[in-house]
Amino acid sequence: MKITEYINTLRENVAVAREQGKTVVLIPTMGFLHSGHLSMVEAVRKQDEDYEKFYIVMSIFVNPLQFGPNEDYDRYPRNLVRDTRLAQEAGVDLLFTPSVQEMYPDGPSLTRVNVAKVTDDLCGSHRPGHFEGVATVVSKLFNIVLPDFAYFGQKDYQQYVVIKQMVKDLNIPVQVLLAPTVREEDGLAMSSRNAYLRPEERRQAPVLYRSLQEAAQLIAGGERDVNVVREKIRQRITNETNGKIEYIEIRRADNLAKIERISGAVVIALAVYFGSTRLIDNILVEV
């Protein structure tokens, strides 16, 4: 595995891979890798155990543009030594670890990418500017790497929808793929921010997934009223945890549009604070 923090070096290596006829895959991350990140690498390597077909670029960059003034940019967990080892063991070809100076040499980017409508609410309404920062840095990564495919995790489902919309609207020639959420044994969605949880908060946090599963069972049993399902989730979280609910929503899966009756493919998404730690989770349901 090669490691570089420089855009020009990355481009040189990607160019060589293309000359060898390889398909370029990008896996963007903010580091502090866990099994969710590595599962994306493993999914590609299962199709290419001999390293002949795919060239996997993983980026590790904690992007300041997507953090609000009172958010956790400075304390976001970082461990590049550990991440490098895990990426190499998983089968990454090139690890891109740019500095803020390399990505934004003239300071905060004057050009921003704003994807409207699908960022209006859910996490977007609670984290102003977040998805503008995400779309801007991902568009930069797409232009730097020029990948054929790019993987994004389902845990950040709104992010996936935002990137899909950006790619469609701007005619970016990359196929955006959704990687299933990887969970701990008790159901908690793997996240770098889980490291913030105190022991009692960690004990309570798996209720989020259990409440989502219960909602899916309710829908499978015939319930179609969004408010009824949302209230069931709210009751479960309120009764069994000290978590502070930020939102519970059921939306169309393709464009996050609001609905009153459940039909077709929907995403059930929530955000809950345990102490100062904000956790998000979701499941996809089709009826």
H or E element that contains 248: strand 244-252
Domain residue spans of the chain? 2-179, 192-279
Are the beta carbons of 213 and 283 closer than 8 angstroms?
yes
**For position 236, what pLDDT does the model report?**
98
Polymer length of the chain: 287
β partners of residue 146? none
What contacts 276, CB < 8 A, 6 or more positions away? 196
**For position 88, what pLDDT does the model report?**
98
**For position 49, what pLDDT does the model report?**
87
Rounded to the nearest 5 degrees, what angle is found at the Cα of 28, between the Cα atoms of 27 and 30?
135
Closest CA to 77 of 190, 172, 167, 157: 190
Q: Model's pTM, two decimal places?
A: 0.96
User: Could you list the mean pLDDT of each consecutive 10-residue stretch along the chain, which spans 287 residues?
Assistant: 98 98 98 97 94 96 94 95 98 98 94 97 95 98 98 98 98 98 97 96 98 98 98 98 98 97 98 97 97
Q: Is the dihedral of CA 128, 194, 74, 161 positive or negative?
A: negative
- In angstroms, the CA 25 to CA 139 distance is 15
- In angstroms, the CA 49 to CA 27 distance is 18
Are the beta carbons of 160 and 191 closer than 8 angstroms?
no
* CB atoms closer than 10 angstroms to residue 152: 23
Q: Looking at the domain covering 192-279, what would its CATH class be?
A: alpha beta
**For position 142, what pLDDT does the model report?**
98
Q: Looking at the domain covering 2-179, what would its CATH class be?
A: alpha beta
H or E element that contains 279: strand 277-286
Does 34 participate in catalysis according to the annotation?
no
Q: For residues 192-205, b (16+ Cβ closer than 10 Å) or e, as one string? A: bebebbeeebbebb
> Which residue in 34, 37, 126, 130 is the catalytic one?
37
**For position 210, what pLDDT does the model report?**
98
